[in-house]
Structure 1
Amino acid sequence: MKTITLVLILLVTILTNAQEKNQVTTTTFKASITCENCEAKIMKQLPYEKGVKDVRVDVDNKLVTVSYKSLKNTDERLNSAIKKLGFQVVTIGQPSIIAVNGNCDMCKERIEKATLQLDGVDVAIWSAKEKQLSVFYDDSMINLGMIEQAVAAVGHDAGSSIAKDEVYASLPDCCKYR
């Protein structure tokens, strides 16, 4: 009986250590990237930093998103690696995600504009495919509820905030999702 208990404890310890080693963190950086050459420069070097699993570059929004093993690297070291490539960079962390209904590029423009007009919002990116708004914001100035209300005010259901029927009715036909 003691042997079985000892074996079980050993297995749990091994599994816990294996899970910790594989823990992946995703962080986003705002960088001074301006073109596809900047993207290529980052994609040529950053994936080879220790522990990096995935790198995504969004030139339009000047964002670099990196997924990495947290035991092998840190936000600070990745920030330094991007700086060494010649870019100004700020770590902005992980976005808050809000479910937002919409359909098209017109919706995207309206949703992002309503969000970016709010004081404290740094970056807002809406995905039509995923129906999600990724927002980076200063939580000392604004909260998710305020962001949801601003998006609902322009006709798009956002999180727990529902757009008023009269505002929704005024949307172009291609933007209607109900």
Structure 2
Amino acid sequence: MTALPDWMHPPRPEGWLAEDLDHLPQAPRHTELIDGALVFMMSPQRSWHSRLTTALTAALMEQAPEGFEAERGMTIRLDARNRPEPDLLVTTVPYEPDRTWFAPEEVRLVIEVVSPESAHRDRTVKLRKYAEAGIPHYWCVEEENGAPVVHVYELDRPTSAYAPAGIFRQELRRTVPFSLGLDLDGLLP
């Protein structure tokens, strides 16, 4: 068995902390921190996932009113031991070129496009963690016969848990976090 490179060993006995991610240039792209453990996105990304994420980003950027920004490849520092990287997020923070993460109170919507390797984390772990952090809206996008299906959740503040707000096929219309309409079938060729 090959020894792990030095950078893969946690810097402290209790594991990794959120700020450690900014000091791991050797880590694979899209490394996130869940409960103090590094999670690497090592499996190849499917074209369906990549194209859908790109199309969703473009559609949200086009429809977002002033004061909202869509970001890809950015982490959210939920707490000292959790810094997940959603596929897409919508924030109310103006563009800052040197930013590497967002705080939960700066995020209005998180979107995860489910892949086989991330399905459990996206459907359960992240669903719970984003809600507990107070992020108001969560979309989990699944593939159904090649088409996107969006499971929409809204935060129930008294319980700090998400409540289902609908399952959308073909078309998605929402008034929160801002007014938008998506032709889901038109997102992919």
Range of TM-score over shorter length: under 0.3
Give the structure, 1 or 2, with the largest relative contact order (CA under 8 Å, sep 6 or more): 1
Q: Quick check: which has more Rg, 1 or 2? A: 1
User: Quick check: which one's helix share is greater?
Assistant: 1
